[in-house]
Each structure stands twice: as structure tokens, then as C-alpha cells.
Structure 1
């Protein structure tokens, strides 16, 4: 089974690239998409109730085309769409198989597929109209117009920039969990709060708790400011305690005061790739594993972020920082390949780290006693540094934007990186 689903990171990269290149994005929908696929297997279905053939009541139907409910339906639809676009001069992405790009002279036309939704645009309006015409010739389409709402993300396009938010979704969440009249804290987690397993705490309904966490996880698609604490609370869904529920409700209280916040993509930007990486050494109380954090930019626009617990226990802060730097390098390389699909080449990418020792290890090809215990896969960063694909630069801790993704911060320290990441309220 294969469904053509684009990653949210790919969508955000498309938004950043589209605005910097100066073209408007549009949205269209394929009606009854899964009925367009051709089957390669012999598939039989029973006669539907109420429509049985009285003469041949024991017979079954042999399908000629795909039908909703079949495991093959998403795959066959994607195969037909791919062949059709390739026939009309589009190239399918080698990294993201749901991306189709057509280059005509100095102009580029882009189509990003998400099952039956297509986000598209071109640097020349004529080619945008041509794509719409080509699609309507083969499929029954519903032209939505300029991209304003996609996968729950509200997108506002203007001459100054793009604004991505989930305001409607956030309002519904606050109302759903009856927190409309609560006080609003300045941060989603207090610096004095230590989220842990809490074996002695009182258990709570895990169904309600999982609903809370699931709702918050989807909200992180446009709100990296809550990513760290949501990830922390998500680790205790099997046996949630009262302390975990209190921590999760504080996130909703914070959201209630920042409902209109979202990501701002400015035109005053370049197509250079950069990232910030950080680790909170042994920050997890239960098993003393470190938390990795990273935020990735196209120019000044934030397009990807991560906040996750490391798989192994680091023996030092340097090791924890080195491991997260290696992980961020793989994401940067993936983003570089994505931009290459659009015809945009990158030179040396910059990774900002606030640990001098981790930077020195990445530049030293010699395996000495202090690093021999680090898994070989983490030394991938050395090859990238040596080939000058990635340059590690030192940044002061108070300017480290990834701090917001690895540890609780007080209100002043929290609001500075939040604004630097481009998370605020914009009225368009």
C-alpha cells in the first residue's frame, strides 16, 4: 500500500521557496481521486446489498478500475498521476516522490501532491494556467484558488510575506477542553517543573490524556514553541499521572493566550541553509538520556525543527552535543537535496553550535580515547565538514535558538528565541 503523502517539512520548504522566488501558490482538489487508478491485479468484490442480480445471485463482480476501500487504490492513483505529469514534461523529485517540477527556460513550475490535494505555482502565471488546463483535461478537478487552507494550516499570502497558523484549530482545542476562562502563563512550562515517571502519583484516565497529547502534537505543525514540553508529556501516555495532566493543561493555557501566533515567512531572505543545534545533557530524570534539539532555516525562514530524546546515554555534555550535531547534519543534507529539486544549488551550509569541544571533534579525523565509545554513525559529520558541505560555527549560549527545544526557560529567555524563530502574531 502506498499513499502519496508529502511531509509537512516539504510543504513549509515549498512555501519558503515560493515566496522568495516571488510566485503565488494555488490549491486544487481531484474529485474522487481513487477512482482514477487502473488495477494490475484481478480483484473481485461481492454484489452490494440492494443491488444483487436476481438471475446471478451467486456471482461476484470483477473490478476494472480501483475502488475506494481497496489497499491498491492510493498506489494506482499515484501511478496514474505520475505517468500523466511525466508525459507532460514534469520531473518527479528523487528525494520527495510527491514533488513534480517543470523547468521552461528561466521559469519553473512546481506541483506538490498530498493524496488528492495539489499545491502548485509558477514563476510565470501562464505556466500556472497551463498546469490547471492540463489537469482538467484528464481529471475532474475542483479549483480552490489561492492557497489559504491546507492540512489544517491556515496560510495568508501577502506582498510582505506568508503567515502560517492553526488559529481555528487552537480555538477549538481550548473550547473542547473547557479552558476558555483560564489564566494564561507566559511560557508553556515552568522552569521549576520536572516532568518524570512519577510512580507515586495518582493515575488519570489515559483516554483523555491521549486525546490531549494527540491534539497538541498536531498543533506543533506550526508551533515549535510548544514542541519540547509536548514531546516530554507524550512519553507518559501509557500510564499518565496527575502531574502529567497538569503539565499538559498548562500548555493549553499558554496556547489560549497565544492563539493567533504562527510562523512568519519574510521576503527579506535568501535561499541559504542554516541550522542551530543544542542538547540538554542528561536532562531526562527517569533514564538520564539527553534531549536533542534543532531548528532549520531557509534564509531567515524556519522550515523544520526537532526535539527528541536521544537513543543512548551520553557520558558527557560534549558527546550529547556532538550526537545532535550529527543528526542535524543529515537534516541539512536532506534540505539541500530538496532545494536541488527546485533547481536551487547550495554551497557550504552553516550549523551553529554552542559547544567548542563538539566543534573540535567534528574537525578532527583522528579517533582518540575520548571519542572511541561514540557510535560510528555519528561521525558522519566529519566527512561533511572535511568536504566543506557543512561549516560548524560557534554561537554564544544566550543566542542559541535551539534552547527553546531542549529545556524549560524562564519568560524572558523563552520569548527572545521564540521571536527569533519567527513565531508571533501577524495581522494581514
Structure 2
């Protein structure tokens, strides 16, 4: 029976890790400790999962005491992004296994510190990049590894975040770079990790542009320049298209996502936490639009873009190789798309030949069916019958964060940024990508 503690009682912690430990993997896993800055979050967990009523709770500064008293084997880190580094390193110093939500940290320097701590520890780090576990993404990996398109030469990846999801980042702590690293890290690290994993190469150099186009005080959608508003009490919310698109005049959530209403009310009870800050505040320090070109270690090139305020959510992907091309498009959260959407398939175009359409068996569960399979790898060990490695380690986490930081730095400095410069090639780094 493996003993787990959880640092950060976030909604993700409850649904992604605590629930399966209690309901699905209870024969092999035991939750023995919870840690957070806010006691209210413990009460929310206990109300939702009465099985945790007797699980000891600790404040954020009591990590050492927690380990001493409950003797865990592993720690799951699901706190705010900028706190990951401290909890991960503390876990490694106690020789614990560490499972971290993405991003592993908010800067490349923090990633370097984590890897240095891991070198000195009997523990190790895994990062939960659940996008890898989406069945379409696993199939793309299999197709590339089989040599179906030959040597990968270039990748085109355009990611779209809709006005519902995109605006949520600007209502919460994510909108401050010091807390999230910016969306090129908090969100795009998912995307960079996918490409790194698909093509089995390391990002070397990045050139990028970024901008704040939709949110902030200068937005064309801002009904009135004024800081400090909140959706719950705003007197101009019916003039805000981001509000009226997803809410009725009676201030109830859209029927497509009516579970959000109760979840929002629950979060508003957290100490000092407001998930409904105005997306037009002037203190926002991140961008909502990026484009980037990434050069990889074996010569592949990535053309990447992400936009956090679009009419629908999903992505378009094309992977080109010396023997052919793969294409796919996904519409995420189809209940929020205001038009019919087609089934996702993968199209294979051989360089000399006719098109082949590949259908993929879908799975139940969050993130396109990826979450349940990731949970199995975390709590039962990685599936030994899988022909490729999929569970991410600290090096994978570091490369994804460093690529995201390079995007922001390049956009800010208007020059190319080398990823290895951000990771500061120390003795620990040497040989990591060999």
C-alpha cells in the first residue's frame, strides 16, 4: 500500500488524484496527509469525500512536520504553479516520489533547481502531461514511431482557446506572470511537451511574438475603463461580451456548463480567492496571443500559435516528414461550439500516393479520455506493454517550461532565445538529452 500526501487542495487535486485514490485505486493507494494555505479547502474536500474526514491536514509551512508524522511514500503537488518548486524540492529532500501537475515550475531556473535536487535524492519526479494520453495523440505517436511519414521535417500546430475557457485565465491568479509564468508556460507547456514527445527531439532555439489583444484595460471589448470590478457585482456586466456570451440576464451559468455555477460559488468561499476578477483590469501582466518558430535538435521545425479568445476551442495539426504528412483537427468542448462539428480523424497523406483516413477508438474520461490512463500509470505503474515511454519525467517538464519561457523572452526581447541558455548547462544538465 503506497502512502500519498497532497500539497494544494485545488479542484484538480480533488478530481484528478484524491477521488481515484479513494474510489478506484484504494487497494494500492492511501491518502495519509493534506497540505494547503487555506483551511476552507480541507472542509470542501471532506464535504465532497467524507472518507477524508480523518486524514490529517497541515498548513503550507508544515511540510517537514507532515512527512515526519504521516510517513508518506509519495507527494502529489497540485498547488498554484509558482509554489510547485518548493514542494517538489522538499519532497526530494525527503527521498519521496513526486508527482507534479504541469507546469513543473514557472521558470527554467526553477526546473534546473528541481533536477539538481533530484540528482541528490533517492526520489524522482513525474509530471502529469495528460495530453500525451489522449487516444488521438497516442495514435499519432505510434504512426510517427512506425516510420509512416519518415523523418519529421516540420510541424504546424495552431491551438485555439474559446472565449469561455480563455477568459477564465484572466479572471484568476493565472493573469499574473509571477504566479503562472504566463500562458506560454502555464498552457503552452502542454503543447510543447506534445511536440517534443511526438518527434522525440529537444527544442533548441525559439523566435516568437506575443501580444495582449483581447483582455486588459485597452481591450476593444472593455465596456468602461475601471479597475477592481468583479463579475458577481459588476454594474456593466451586461455590456461585457465575455459575460453575456456565457451567462443569462438572471446570472445563471449557460446550460452547456451548468456545473460551473456551483463550482464557482464553492470557490468564492475560499479565503482571499476570487475567480471572477475583471478581465479588463490594468494589472494583467501576461499575453493572450503568441506565435513562435522552434528549431529542434535533429533539424525539425515547429510553427506554433495559440490564441486565448476565439469562437471555438480545439487545434489544427500537421506533421510533415520525408515520406508523407499527418493532419488532424479537434473541436474541444463541442457543447460550447455554436455550430455542428465533425468527428476527429487523422488523415495520412503519403508523399507519393493516395490519402488514408484513420479512425481512433475514443475513451471515456477527462482530457479526451487521457486522465484515466494517466491515473493508471501514476497509481499502478507505467503499462509495460506499451511500445514507447509516455509518463513524463523532470527533464520533459523542464524542456516544456524552458520552451515556454523562451517564447515569452523572445517576444519581450525581439530576438532568438536558446533553450539550453535558460537551463544553464551545469554538470547535472550535461547528458540529460543524450
Higher relative contact order (CA 8 A, sep 6+): 2
Normalised TM-score (structure 1): 0.25
Q: TM-score, normalized by length of structure 2?
A: 0.24
* Higher gyration radius (CA): 1
